[in-house]
Amino acid sequence: MTRRLIAHLDMDAFYASVELLRYPDLKGQPVVIGGGRRHQPELLPDGTRRYAILRHYAGRGVITTATYAARAFGVNSGMGLMKAAALAPDAVLLPIDFDEYRRYSRLFKAAVAEVVGTDPPVIEDRGVDEIYIDLSAQPGVEVDRGEAVARAIKARVLERTGLSCSIGVTPNKLLSKLASELDKPDGLTLLGHDDIPARIWPLPARRINGIGPKSAARLEALGIRSIGELAAADPAWLVTQFGAHYGRWLHEAAHGRDERAVVTHSEPVSLSRETTFDRDLHPRTDRAVLSGIFTRLCEQVADDLQRKGYVGRTIGLKLRYEDFRTVTRDLTLPQATADAAEIRRAAGLCLKRTPLDRRLRLLGVRVGKLERLADAPPRIHEPLAPYTASLFEH
């Protein structure tokens, strides 16, 4: 029986690295991605560019990613830009360009498929910047533990995109996810079960994918900080503390055991778009601004559906108020759709059932109950019941 060998590939500071291809003069500098359109670099008459600087930022945006030079200042993904400005005030701030990141995502995944070669390649897509690859059937992996094919993948990704990636190769997905982080950037880490005590157990327990902030805090309160300390804990005690399912899983994960297969295809449950505003917006005084954002989110979700080949029947609305209270509303249509106008109309009906007496900090639109466009029944064009204009309309 062939021994399982799974690779986890993670692109290095992906969004920031894509931006550095566009702005090579920023290479080696602290750069943060998370700005809006107003932070677009300005091209000067002499051919140089003027960049937005983090110290001048005002708003509630968060960092999508940052270069390694910026991370040296303690700046990390998910951090508020105002907090990051206090840590790295001279860091360059660039706007987010998801279309370009998705383009490079397709390029690097196609490059990996070229090297893996099997038809179809056993690759699990985990998002825009990471994938799992089952290397078990690749020639020569029993001899070099997958090093040659992993190096070939790294070289092909660099050739096709100009970007570096880090790869962990181990017997399973859990260990490979951990391994790919050990030697970033541009790393290649091969681990077997014998390497777990030296390489994995010293890591913080929260590094295990599946141990979130709340579980990590609870473990720490119980005196468990490292993966090794978790591995040494009595399994029965873990079950007592965390319940039968999660307690047993914690014990297995700490010992590097994971039997999950690389899943080559899974259908999404829903697609959504949302945005957090730079300042709180009121449905009455900021009606025109909110109306434009609302319509644009519906158009973006519709574009995502059409590009991915899906239609959906349930249209959802998400609002977060200034006090952080969040409300959602859903409406199920008689027929699935990917049409922006229909999504906008249904979301507007959801909006009419939502309190609009306070300022908003976030707005989102979701389409659920998805089905493949090719599998959807023929459409009967029956317009939705008319409704009066929402408070977001002029």
What are the residue numbers of the active site?
130
**3 state DSSP class of 204:** strand
Yes or no: say if 182 and 43 are a contact pair by the CB < 8 Å rule. Answer: no
Yes or no: say if 359 and 322 are a contact pair by the CB < 8 Å rule. Answer: yes
Q: Where are the beta strands (DSSP E) in the chain?
A: 6-11, 31-35, 42-43, 49-50, 52-53, 65-66, 92-95, 123-125, 130-134, 165-170, 188-190, 270-281, 310-321, 326-337, 360-372
Yes or no: say if 145 and 7 are a contact pair by the CB < 8 Å rule. Answer: no
Return d(Cα 250, Cα 238) in angstroms, integer: 8
Q: How many residues does the chain have?
A: 394
Return d(Cα 314, Cα 335) in angstroms, integer: 9
Residue 7: name the closest of 168, 165, 153, 122 by CA: 168
Yes or no: say if 7 and 112 are a contact pair by the CB < 8 Å rule. Answer: no
**3 state DSSP class of 236:** helix
Yes or no: say if 6 and 172 are a contact pair by the CB < 8 Å rule. Answer: yes
Yes or no: say if 6 and 171 are a contact pair by the CB < 8 Å rule. Answer: yes
Pairing of strands 92-95, 52-53: antiparallel
Q: Give, rounded to a whole angstrom, the gap between the first and last alpha carbons of the chain.
A: 67
Spell out the alpha helix ranges (H) of 32-122: 68-71, 81-87, 98-116
Verify cis geometry, omega within 30 degrees of 0, for the bond prior to 202: no
